[in-house]
Chains A and B, each alone.
Chain A
């Protein structure tokens, strides 16, 4: 399954457009990560535990989007867009959406 954020894939033609597919997940951090991040706030720098958490969540969102595309018979998802928002203090929603297409 090709997943891309361009519209026209080089060397491939889109045969059928199958509509929007979406994948999202909401993840919360836990006490341990929060505490360490709080300490890190004192010195500054990258909060690696949060980075990992959000990357995992994003992968899961993309996996869900891919599953929706598979279920409707697509073999590529184009024009993929991401959105991250904090729905409540302590939890983030990772959202990925795109258009499922059939390419040859």
Chain B
């Protein structure tokens, strides 16, 4: 009986594919699949969210919401600025053609950030920083009309449904990879796709708001002022696909395309209001 140890050739227990090609194919394949899954989820979320009636949305929010806690207790606490905001909002709502039963309320938040948003239940929040920055009433009206358009399109609840479903699925997939960069690839692919949907919503809201502005004031002056200010204020130079809003230049060209139709006109100055008192929380005007 002979005992030997012949040399065993290499390469039997390893795979032959080139590691870079393997990695690239995996990364691209996974990213594309995640994008496809997110697109499907976003469409389903939008479809399903529209089934929730606006009245249900509003009553859910009112139960948890702070407005009533901060509601003005008597006439003396109501500020001029809140009355002005309510009146302006009402004018724009009347021109916006909202569906039956949909109500919109504006609130001024004492915060110096330049921002405004629409949330569930038809609530719009304008922050003091944005208010102070507006050069004229037309620009402010553009902001409010934009937020009203979001509410009309039911964007808050659609965005919420989309956000929940997309985060759920991407978190599950990220957890399965057990690796921070692979999880990062999955997460970023999902994020970029979801942001695309957000930008589409913003563009649609811009278009609807311009229609309202044209109807109330007869011209679109002031809308470009708003986008120029927003463009100047944003200090971070993020590329568009990282952002939830379209680039300011793109939004301006959306308006300029229509200025030919509606032309320019007189810009109404904003009335001056006393400086904010940080100690006093905001007092929305009682009633609807």
The answer to whether A72 touches B13, judged by C-beta atoms less than 8 angstroms apart, is no
Tell whether A43 is near chain B: CB-to-CB under 8 Å.
no
A25 to B13, CA, bound (A): 7
Ranked nearest first, the 4 interchain pairs of A and B with the lowest CB-CB distance are A19-B5, A72-B6, A16-B2, A17-B3
The answer to whether A71 touches B5, judged by C-beta atoms less than 8 angstroms apart, is no
The answer to whether B176 touches A90, judged by C-beta atoms less than 8 angstroms apart, is yes
Interface residues of A (CB under 8 A from B): 14-19, 21-25, 31, 34, 64, 67-68, 71-73, 88-90
Majority SS at the chain B contact face = loop
Of the four ranges (under 10, 10 to 19, 20 to 34, 35 or more), the interface on chain B belongs to 10 to 19
Interface residues of B (CB under 8 A from A): 1-9, 12-13, 173, 176, 178
The answer to whether B12 touches A64, judged by C-beta atoms less than 8 angstroms apart, is yes
The answer to whether B12 touches A67, judged by C-beta atoms less than 8 angstroms apart, is yes
Name 23 interchain pairs, CB-CB below 8 A, sorted by A.
Answer: A14-B1, A15-B2, A16-B1, A16-B3, A17-B1, A17-B2, A17-B4, A18-B5, A19-B5, A19-B8, A22-B13, A23-B12, A24-B13, A25-B13, A31-B173, A31-B176, A68-B9, A68-B12, A71-B9, A71-B12, A73-B6, A90-B176, A90-B178
A17 to B6, CA, bound (A): 10
A90 to B7, CA, bound (A): 34
Residues of B within 8 A of A68 (CB): 8-9, 12-13
Using A17-B3, A88-B178, A89-B178 as known contacts, say yes or no to A72 and B12 having CB atoms under 8 A apart.
Answer: no
